[in-house]
Amino acid sequence: MHRPLEHAPSVLAENRRHYEALVEVALHHAALGDAERVLRAAMLAGRYAWLAPIDLLSDLRLERAVVHAVRGSGSVAVDGNRRSGRVLHVLSEALSIGGHTRLAWRWIRRDVRTSDLVLTNQQGPVPDRLVETVRASGGELHELAPTHPELLDRAHALRRHMDQADLVVLHVHPYDAVALAAVNLPGPRPPVLYENHADLSFWLGVGSADVLCDWRADARTLDVGLRGVPDERIGVLPMPMEAMESGSGDALRRQLGIRHDAVVALTVADNWKVAASWGRGMHHVVDKVLHWSPKLAVVLVGVTPNADWARLAKRYPGRVFSVGKVLDTAPFYALADIYLESYPTRAGTTPLEAAMVGLPVLGLADIAEGTPAHIFQTGSPGLAGRRVETEVGQFAVAVRRLAVDAALRRSEGDATRAAVVAEHDGPGWLAHLEALYERARALPAVDVDDLGDSPADEQYGAMLLSAWAPGPVSPHPNHLAAHLGQLFDDRMKGDIFAVLQRTAGPLLTVRVTAGWERHAAWTTRLLALAEAHPRLTVSLPFVDGDDANGTRSTDRLVAMLTDLGQSPEDCGDVRVESAPTREAGRSFTGELPFTPEALDWLDGVLSSGCWGPLSVLAGLSGGQSVPA
C-alpha cells in the first residue's frame, strides 16, 4: 500500500503556515484597495502552493480577494454570440521542453479558426514552432511583460485582447493571477475555457473557468470534491495529438550502445513521476521487468541519472539507459519497441505520443480506486479503456509477453494507436472541441461569490507533497518568487517578513557591521529609523580600540544623535555592545551591511502594515478566519 513520506505531515503543516502568510499579505492589500499588490501576493501564493503542496487544491478565498480587487461593484457577463472566427489562447509562458506548450500549438493547428496568442509572463525565447503555428492560422502573438511591467496593467491589456475574440482558452500556469483578474474585469466578455493541465495540483483559476477543460474524466473527482468547481462547468477534451516524424532509431541505438538484437522499452517522464515518493519507484519496477525479460533494454528520457539507476545499470550491464532531458524526443520513440508508462505517477502527454507512433503502451496502477490519490495513476481517453496491470509481478509478465513476441507488439501497438487516434485526432477530436465551445457559449459567467469555500484534504495533500516536493524542509516563500522578478520588491519582502515573524516577539533586532562610525550618513539614517519605529532595536559593535565599557563608541553615538537633534533618552532602542543582547524577538541573520539597499529593505520591513492583526479583514476571507 502506498503511503506518504514520514515527514510529509509536518512539512505540509509548515507549507500551509507559509502559504497563509502570503494570503494574509494579499488580504491586507485588498483591504487597502491596492489591486496591484493583491495580484503580486496572489501570484506568489499560488506559485507557493503549487510547488510546495498544501492541503488545498484551490483557494476560493484568495480568488475572491483578486476578483473583488479588480471587479469592484461591477459585474461580468458572457457574450456567447460572437462569431468573427477568432480564438484567443493565453499562456503564462511557452517552454521548449514539456508537453504543455506542444498541447497549445496542436490545439491551434487543428482549430479552423484564427488563433491569437498572449503570453502574460514570458521569461525566455518563445519556441519557434509555436510562433509559426500561430502565424499560420492568421493570428498574432503578444507578449505582455515587456510593455506592461505591472500585473494590473497586464490584466487590463489581456482583457483588451480578449474583447477581440469569440472564445478564450487559458493554458496558464497554476499561479497566473493576471488571467484570473482579466477574466473578472467588469463588462461583457467572450466565454472562457480553462485548460486543466495541472489537474493533480493546486491552481488559481476556478473563478475564471466558465468551462473547465479536463484531459481525463477521472479529474472530475478532484475538481468537484477538492476545488469546488460546479459539476455542470466541467467538460473533457482529449489532448490533441499527432504522430511524430521520427525516422529511424538505428543511429541512436548505436550512440547509446544498445545491442542490435535487444528489445527496447521506453519511458519519457519527469523525475518526480518516477521517484520512490510513496515507498516504491520506477526503478523497483524496472528491476523486476529486466529480471523477467533478458533481451529487454530500458531507456528513460527526462529522468536524471542517479544512484538508483546506476545500481540497476551495474546489475544489468548494457540494458539501462537514463539520458535526462532532451529537446527532441522523436528519435527515442523511433528507437523503442514498447512503451512503459511512468510509475508511480502516470504521465499525460508522452504515453499518447507513444501510442500515436504505434507502440504498445503498458501501465501499472496499484493505488486503490475510489481514493483521491488514484488520480496519479489514471490515463487519458483512448488509454483509459485499455488494460492496466495492478501488481508489479503481473506488469513484468505483460512486458515479457511483448518482449518475446514481435507480432503481438505490432497488433497491440496498432490497437492502441487506433483507440488513441479516435479520441485525440481527426474528426473525433474536432467534434469534442466544437461541443466544448458551444457549451461555454451557453453558460453564464462564472462568479466566485457563488462557489463557497475550498475543501481541505490533508491525506491527499501529503500524497501530493510526497510525489511533487518530497524534501524534508518547507521552502521559504522568498525562495519561490523567481517568476515575479522585479515585482518581488523590498516592500513585498517586508510584508512577508512581517507577517511571518510578528508572533516571534515585540522586538526586531539588527546587528550592524563593524565600522559604522566611518559611515556617518548611513548610520544617521539607521538612527532615524530607530527613532521612528519603536519595534526596532539597533545593536552597534564597539569601535576599534575601545575599552571594555565602550566609552569611545558611546561618545561617537552621542555625537551622531546630537547632529540629529536627539539624545540617548529619546532615540529609540539603540545599543552599543560588544555582542547583541538576546531578547524575545526576531533578529536578522548576519550583520546589516553599509548599503542603501539594506536600509531600504529595513525601512520596508518596518513600514509594513502586516505587523498588525488581520481580524479587521475577516470579511474578505469568505467567512473563514485567517490564522495568525
CATH second-level architecture of 82-241+431-449?
3-Layer(aba) Sandwich (3.40)
pLDDT for the residue numbered 618: 35
For 290-315, what is the mean pLDDT?
96
| Residue 392 CB neighbour total at 10 angstroms | 17
Measured CA angle at 408 (ends 402, 410), to 5 deg:
105
Check whether 619 has a pLDDT greater than 50. no
Give 603-626 as a 3 state SS string.
Answer: HHHHHCHHHCCCHHHHHHHCCCCC
Burial label for 56, CB within 10 Å (0-12, 13-18, 19+), is buried
C-alpha gyration radius of the chain: 28
C-alpha cell at 234: 466541467
C-alpha cell at 580: 547583541
Strand order in the sheet with 263-268: 320-324, 296-301, 263-268, 338-340, 361-362
Q: From CA 220, how far away is CA 214, in angstroms rounded?
A: 8
Q: From CA 615, how far away is CA 182, in angstroms rounded?
A: 29
For 461-473, what is the mean pLDDT?
91
- Please report, for the chain, the start and end positions of each structural domain, with discontinuous segments joined by +: 8-71+452-470, 82-241+431-449, 250-424, 503-611
pLDDT for the residue numbered 225: 93
For 508-531, what is the mean pLDDT?
92
Check whether 469 has a pLDDT greater than 70. yes
C-alpha cell at 100: 504543455
Q: Is the C-alpha dihedral spanning 203, 207, 212, 216 positive or negative?
A: positive
What's the CATH number of domain 250-424, 3.40.50.2000, 3.40.190.10, 3.30.70.3270, 3.40.50.80?
A: 3.40.50.2000
C-alpha cell at 611: 505587523
Alpha helices in 425-478 (DSSP H): 426-442, 458-468
C-alpha cell at 300: 528513460
Check whether 284 has a pLDDT greater than 90. yes
Check whether 622 has a pLDDT greater than 50. no
Q: At what angle do helices 282-292 and 307-315 cross, to 10 degrees?
A: 10
C-alpha cell at 162: 480578449
Instruction: Quote the DSSP letter at residue 440.
Output: H
pLDDT for the residue numbered 514: 93
Kind and range of the H or E run holding 297: strand 296-301
Check whether 1 has a pLDDT greater than 60. no
Task: Indicate yes or no: pTM above 0.85.
Answer: yes
Residues 6+ apart with CB under 8 A from 572: 527, 530, 531, 532, 533, 534, 536, 538
Percent of the chain with pLDDT over 70: 95
Alpha helices in 213-260 (DSSP H): 220-222, 250-256
Check whether 158 has a pLDDT greater than 90. yes
Q: Does residue 113 come out as left (phi exceeding 0), alpha (psi in the -120 to 50 range) or beta?
A: beta
Instruction: Quote the DSSP letter at residue 90.
Output: E
Q: From CA 260, how far away is CA 502, in angstroms rounded?
A: 66
Check whether 624 has a pLDDT greater than 60. no
Mean pLDDT of the chain: 91
